[in-house]
C-alpha cells in the first residue's frame, strides 16, 4: 500500500469514527487547523494524561505549571523568537503560491522544478525573505506597536519566567524539573501531512534544572527515558529511532540534542527533541528583565545559574504516530477488517457493551453492566445492528474489549468478552467483569 493510500485511509477513518475533523469545514475549512471529535479528544487527552502521569505525578523531582498563552512581548525579545524565529519564504510569480525555500522540492507546487538546482522551468521564484512564524495580536482596544503581543510559539518560555516563582513557593531543590502542557501556535507557511505540521497544536515540555557539573549525565538520562516511554506505548521496532544531532545541526547554545523520530507513511518525522540548553535561557531572561534567576544551594553554599535539559514533545504529533502505528487492515474470514491496535492506556474507549437482542431483559442487564463499568473507565453502549458490525465499529475505534449480553446471561450471569487484537472470546461472570477488565488493562 502506498504512503498516500495509507494516509488517505487513516484520515478517512479519523473523520468517520469521530477522531479528527478539518477545522471550519462547513465554511470551506481553514488550512492548518483541525478539530478533535468525541473519540479524538479522548485519545489526545489519554496521550497527555499518560505523559503527565509518567513524568510528573509519579516523580518527586518534577512539578507542573500552566502559564498564560499571552505573555509580555519582552519575553519573546529576550528569548530571541522575535528576531530569529523565522522560515525562508519565497513566492512563485507564475502559480502565485508561497513556499518555504528549504521545502520547495517537496511542496505541492503545480510548476515543476528544472533539473538545475535553484532554477525552475515554469516557476519564477522571488528572492527568499524571512517570515516570522509567530501570530501577532494586540492587548486592549488600540492596535499599536506598544500593545503588540504574540500567541506563544512554544510553552517553554512560560516555564523559564516562572523559575524563581516555583523555587520561592515550593520546597523543591535542584535537580528538579518544571513541566507544562498546552497550546502553541505557529503561522506555518506550508502546513501539511494531516496534524503533523499545523498552525495550532499542543506541546508537552519539561525544563529540567540541574547543576552544570551533572548536566551531561542528566541529558543522557532524559534522552533514554523519553525514548523508552514511546516504546512502552507501542512505538517499538523499526518505525522508531533516536537520532543524535551532529555538530552542524546544534543550536549555538546547545552541547547536545537528540530527536526521537517516527517513520510516518511519508518518511521520518520528529516526535520529540531532547536538548541540553546549558544556562542560555535563564541568562537571557536575567539580562533582559534585570531579575536574579540564579540558584543558591543551602547545603553547599554555592550560587550558580542552573543548566537546563529540555525534553520537548508534541502531543498532536505523538497522537498521529500512535494512530499510524495502530492502523491495520487484515483479511478475516474473507472480509477486510480495519482495526486500530492502540495501547489500552491510550484507547479512547476501554470497553463496549452490547445486548445481543432487544428482548428478554438483555438491554436492561446490559445497561446495568455499562453504568457500573462507567464509574471506572470510558465505556460505550451500542444496541444497534448485527453484533458483527458492532464489533467492527469498535475495532475501528480501537476499543480493546467488547462485552456481549446474551441468552446465557440470564441462566448463569456470565457475559462474552471479546478481545480486539486476537478476537478471542471467553465467558466471564458478570460479577467478576470489572476486576477482569482492570487486570487486563493494567497488565499491558
Task: Specify the pLDDT at position 87.
Answer: 61
Residues 225-241: what's their mean pLDDT?
A: 94
CATH number for position 318 = 3.30.930.10
- Assess whether pLDDT exceeds 60 at residue 348: yes
Q: How many residues does the chain have?
A: 444
CB atoms within 10 A of CB 298: 7
CATH number for position 403 = 3.40.50.800
Same domain, yes or no: 269 and 177: yes
Same domain, yes or no: 316 and 393: no
- Assess whether pLDDT exceeds 70 at residue 98: no
CA distance 274 to 243: 10
Kindly state whether residue 337 falls inside one of the protein's structural domains: no
Same domain, yes or no: 266 and 168: yes
The 10s digit of each residue's pLDDT in 383-425 is 999 999 999 999 999 999 999 999 999 999 999 999 999 999 9
For residue 144, what is its C-alpha cell? 499599536
Q: How many domains does the chain have?
A: 3
Kindly state whether residue 343 falls inside one of the protein's structural domains: no
> 123 vs 376, which has greater pLDDT?
376
Same domain, yes or no: 177 and 157: yes
Same domain, yes or no: 428 and 284: no
- Which range marks the domain in which residue 353 is found? 349-443
Beta strand 307-314 with 200-210 is antiparallel
CA distances (Å), origin 50, targets 93, 183, 230, 234: 48, 17, 11, 13
Same domain, yes or no: 261 and 302: yes
Kindly state whether residue 336 falls inside one of the protein's structural domains: no
> For the range 362-365, what are the long-range contacts, defined as Cβ-Cβ under 8 Å and sequence gap of 24 or more?
362/405, 362/406, 362/409, 365/405, 365/409, 365/410, 365/430
Q: What pTM was estimated for this model as a whole?
A: 0.89
Same domain, yes or no: 7 and 140: yes
Residues 51-75: what's their mean pLDDT?
A: 96
Among 323, 339, 367, where does a domain finish? Answer: 323
CA distance 405 to 411: 11
CB atoms within 10 A of CB 22: 15
The 10s digit of each residue's pLDDT in 85-96 is 776 666 676 776
Residues 359-381: what's their mean pLDDT?
A: 95
The 10s digit of each residue's pLDDT in 140-164 is 888 887 789 999 999 999 999 999 9
Kindly state whether residue 61 falls inside one of the protein's structural domains: yes
Same domain, yes or no: 388 and 244: no
Q: At what angle do helices 433-443 and 362-374 cross, to 10 degrees?
A: 50
Kindly state whether residue 334 falls inside one of the protein's structural domains: no
For residue 233, what is its C-alpha cell? 506505548
Residues 184-206: what's their mean pLDDT?
A: 91
Task: Specify the pLDDT at position 91.
Answer: 64
Same domain, yes or no: 94 and 219: no
Amino acid at each position: 500500500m502506498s504512503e498516500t493510500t495509507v494516509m488517505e485511509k487513516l484520515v478517512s477513518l479519523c473523520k468517520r469514527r469521530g477522531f479528527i475533523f478539518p477545522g471550519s469545514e462547513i465554511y470551506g475549512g481553514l488550512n492548518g487547523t483541525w478539530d478533535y471529535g468525541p473519540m479524538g479528544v479522548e485519545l489526545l487527552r489519554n496521550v497527555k494524561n499518560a505523559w503527565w502521569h509518567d513524568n510528573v505525578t509519579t516523580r518527586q523531582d518534577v512539578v507542573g505549571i500552566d502559564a498564560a498563552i499571552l505573555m509580555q512581548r519582552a519575553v519573546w525579545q529576550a528569548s530571541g523568537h522575535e528576531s530569529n524565529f523565522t522560515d525562508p519564504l519565497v513566492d512563485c510569480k507564475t502559480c502565485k503560491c508561497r513556499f518555504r525555500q528549504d521545502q520547495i522540492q517537496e511542496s505541492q507546487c503545480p510548476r515543476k522544478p528544472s533539473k538545475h538546482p535553484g532554477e525552475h522551468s515554469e516557476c519564477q521564484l522571488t528572492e527568499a525573505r524571512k517570515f516570522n512564524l509567530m501570530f501577532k495580536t494586540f492587548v486592549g482596544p488600540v492596535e499599536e506597536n506598544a500593545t503588540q503581543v504574540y500567541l506563544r510559539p512554544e510553552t517553554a518560555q512560560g516555564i523559564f519566567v516562572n523559575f524563581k516563582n516555583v523555587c520561592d513557593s515550593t520546597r523543591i531543590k535542584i535537580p528538579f524539573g518544571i513541566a507544562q502542557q498546552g497550546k502553541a501556535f505557529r503561522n506555518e507557511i506550508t502546513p501539511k501531512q494531516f496534524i503533523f505540521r499545523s498552525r495550532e497544536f499542543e506541546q508537552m515540555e519539561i525544563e529540567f534544572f540541574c547543576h552544570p557539573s551533572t548536566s551531561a549525565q542528566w541529558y543522557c538520562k532524559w534522552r533514554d527515558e523519553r525514548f523508552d516511554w514511546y516504546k512502552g506505548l507501542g512505538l517499538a521496532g523499526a518505525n522508531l529511532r533516536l537520532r543524535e544531532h551532529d555538530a552542524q545541526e546544534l543550536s549555538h547554545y546547545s552541547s547536545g540534542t537528540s530527536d526521537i523520530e517516527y517513520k510516518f507513511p511519508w518518511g521520518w518525522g520528529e516526535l520529540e527533541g531532547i536538548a541540553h540548553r546549558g544556562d542560555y535561557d535563564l541568562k537571557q531572561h536575567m539580562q533582559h528583565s534585570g531579575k536574579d534567576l540564579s540558584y543558591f544551594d543551602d547545603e553547599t553554599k554555592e550560587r550558580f545559574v542552573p543548566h537546563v535539559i529540555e525534553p520537548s514533545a508534541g502531543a498532536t504529533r505523538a497522537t498521529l504516530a500512535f494512530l499510524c502505528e495502530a492502523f491495520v487492515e487484515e483479511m478475516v474470514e474473507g472480509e477486510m477488517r480495519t482495526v486500530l491496535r492502540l495501547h489500552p492506556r491510550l484507547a479512547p474507549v476501554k470497553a463496549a457493551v452490547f445486548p445481543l437482542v432487544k428482548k428478554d431483559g438483555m438491554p436492561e442487564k446490559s445497561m446495568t453492566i455499562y453504568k457500573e463499568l462507567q464509574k471506572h473507565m470510558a465505556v460505550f453502549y451500542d444496541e444497534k445492528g448485527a453484533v458483527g458490525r458492532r464489533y467492527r465499529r469498535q475495532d475501528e475505534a480501537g476499543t480493546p474489549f467488547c462485552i456481549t449480553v446474551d441468552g446465557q446471561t440470564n441462566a448463569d450471569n456470565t457475559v462474552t468478552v471479546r478481545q480486539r487484537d486476537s478476537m478471542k472470546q471467553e465467558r466471564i461472570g458478570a460479577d467478576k467483569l470489572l476486576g477482569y477488565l482492570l487486570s487486563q488493562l493494567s497488565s499491558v
